[in-house]
């Protein structure tokens, strides 16, 4: 009986998502590295895994409804920064949590946690790539579908999570909104260390300016158990940070020394389509200009359109003239 219970317990632990526990037995090198995750966590060998390379020539352009970022410009108190041995987690204590809706999402998604992925040096570190380009760091803001009540329940559903992903790019200047994060990092270099931020924290301050252009696709958690439950939104415009601000993340330590890198290599895209959302007010603007124009195509089709109308008009004039001609013939008979 005890064996059954402990087996059940171990199985339950293995199901725990990255959001709840930082103690899974996985790493980024050697026998515990990404190439071996699939041996213990079946889903890591799945067909719809993340991260992926996004080939900009293969994306499908779409114009989705606006995303609503609720509570992103609030000043939030009681924000915790924690080293879980794989990354640094930023969590919000007090309700209500920020949330997102709109875009490709059905329903509301509530903030769960955010964390970062980085590399040994500034030439690599992001998880998703764009045209095989790596960025030095990537931010993941994880949200769970409100309908499922908790992140633990949400990971059992294919639309359970959405992750807003932001890339970083090097800049000569410091990004002042990141000072509080880098200050906190200095206090959580040891495994399981946690601090509460000194100042209120605003989501919007750490994000890029353009939140309208993004790629979206269906994928997975990028850490074991690699559950295929994530609607990914990868924002195109990177956040610009100074080298020293990125370097501060590389000081964090796991049980095995400094966390020098914590990104998973790209996975096969398989049969998936990546959608590229273009600001739809751009199209609305053009539509006002010429309401007849086809939104998805450019001038050549407009000309085709015109010729098509011309042909119809000529056919109907031919028809009217024929009817009048026949009527006159009939009357004259
Ligand atoms: C950056 O790190 C990678 C992985 O360790 C290494 O292959 C590459 O040579 C490094 N690049 C530079 C410029 O140091
Ligand atoms: C972290 O440590 C520094 C001193 O090195 C201190 O100024 C700061 O207030 C500490 N706490 C946080 C949350 O940053
Ligand atoms: C339609 O008829 C006009 C004359 O009424 C002519 O100039 C024009 O070329 C015609 N268009 C087509 C598509 O046949
Ligand atoms: Zn992540």
How confident is the prediction along the chain (333 residues), in pLDDT tens digits per residue?
554 445 444 444 433 344 444 446 899 999 999 999 999 999 999 999 999 999 999 999 999 999 999 999 999 999 999 999 999 999 999 999 999 999 999 999 999 999 999 999 999 999 999 999 999 999 999 999 999 999 999 999 999 999 999 999 999 999 999 999 999 999 999 999 999 999 999 999 999 999 999 999 999 999 999 999 999 999 999 999 999 999 999 999 999 899 999 999 999 999 999 999 987 665 555 444 444 444 443 333 333 343 444 444 556 666 677 777 777 777 776
Q: Assign residue 113 the CATH number of its domain.
A: 3.10.200.10
Q: Whose CA is nearest to atom 11 of ligand 2?
A: 184
Closest ligand 3 atom to 307 CA: 13
Q: What is the pLDDT of residue 150?
A: 97
Per the domain annotation, does 226 fall within a domain? yes
Instruction: Count CB neighbours of 41 within 10 A.
Output: 21
| Residue in 306, 314, 315, 317 to alter for ligand 3 test, most ligand atoms within 8 A of Cβ | 314
Domain co-membership, 312 together with 194: no
DSSP run (H or E) holding 70: strand 67-70
Cβ–ligand 2 distance for 183 under 6 Å, the answer: yes
Domain co-membership, 70 together with 175: yes
Cβ–ligand 2 distance for 186 under 6 Å, the answer: yes
Residues in the chain: 333
Entry pTM: 0.78
Cβ–ligand 3 distance for 268 under 6 Å, the answer: no
Q: How many domains does the chain have?
A: 2
Selection from 79, 96, 100, 97 nearest residue 88 by Cα: 79
Ligand in closest contact with the CA of 50:
4
Closest ligand 3 atom to 314 CA: 1
Domain co-membership, 144 together with 249: yes
Domain co-membership, 72 together with 108: yes
Domain co-membership, 123 together with 26: yes
Rounded Cα–Cα distance for residues 165 and 298 (Å):
31
Q: What is the pLDDT of residue 313?
A: 52
Contact by Cβ (8 Å): 225, 46: no
Please give the distance, rounded to the nearest whole angstrom, from the Cα atom of residue 51 to the centre of ligand 4. 9
Q: What is the pLDDT of residue 2?
A: 53
Domain span at residue 22 reads: 2-283
Angle at 280 between CA 276 and CA 283, to 5 degrees: 110
Per the domain annotation, does 289 fall within a domain? no
Domain co-membership, 180 together with 268: yes
Q: What is the pLDDT of residue 214?
A: 97
Where does 132-173 show beta strands of DSSP type E? 137-145, 161-171
Please give the distance, rounded to the nearest whole angstrom, from the Cα atom of residue 313 to the centre of ligand 3. 8
pLDDT tens, position by position, 148-168: 999 999 999 999 999 999 999
């Amino acid at each position: 009986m005890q064996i059954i219970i402990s087996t059940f317990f171990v199985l339950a632990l293995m199901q725990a998502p990255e959001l709840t526990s930082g103690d899974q037995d996985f790493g980024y090198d050697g026998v515990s590295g990404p190439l071996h995750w699939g041996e213990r966590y079946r889903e890591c060998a799945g067909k719809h895994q993340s991260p992926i390379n996004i080939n900009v020539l293969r994306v499908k352009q779409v114009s989705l409804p606006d995303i609503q970022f609720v509570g992103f410009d609030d000043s939030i108190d009681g924000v915790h920064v924690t080293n879980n041995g794989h990354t640094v987690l930023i969590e919000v204590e007090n309700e209500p949590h920020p949330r997102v809706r709109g875009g490709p999402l059905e329903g509301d998604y509530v903030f769960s946690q955010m964390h970062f992925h980085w590399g040994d040096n500034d030439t690599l570190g992001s998880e998703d790539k764009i045209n095989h380009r790596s960025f030095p760091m990537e931010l993941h803001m994880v949200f769970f579908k409100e309908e499922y009540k908790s992140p633990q329940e949400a990971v059992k559903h294919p639309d359970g999570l959405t992750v807003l992903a932001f890339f970083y790019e090097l800049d000569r200047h410091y990004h002042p909104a990141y000072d509080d994060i880098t200050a906190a990092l200095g206090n959580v270099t040891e495994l399981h260390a946690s601090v509460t931020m000194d100042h209120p924290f605003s989501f919007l301050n750490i994000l890029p300016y353009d939140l309208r252009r993004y790629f979206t696709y269906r994928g997975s958690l990028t850490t074991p158990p690699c559950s295929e439950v994530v609607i990914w939104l990868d924002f195109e415009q990177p956040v610009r940070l100074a080298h020293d601000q990125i370097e501060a993340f590389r000081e964090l330590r796991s049980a095995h020394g400094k966390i020098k890198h914590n990104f998973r290599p790209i996975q096969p895209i398989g049969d998936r389509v990546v959608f590229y959302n273009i600001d739809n007010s751009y199209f609305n603007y053009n539509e006002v200009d010429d309401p007849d124009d086809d939104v998805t195509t450019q001038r050549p089709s407009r000309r085709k359109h015109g010729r098509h109308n011309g042909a119809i008009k000529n056919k109907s004039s031919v028809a009217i003239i024929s009817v009048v001609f026949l009527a006159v013939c009939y009357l004259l008979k």
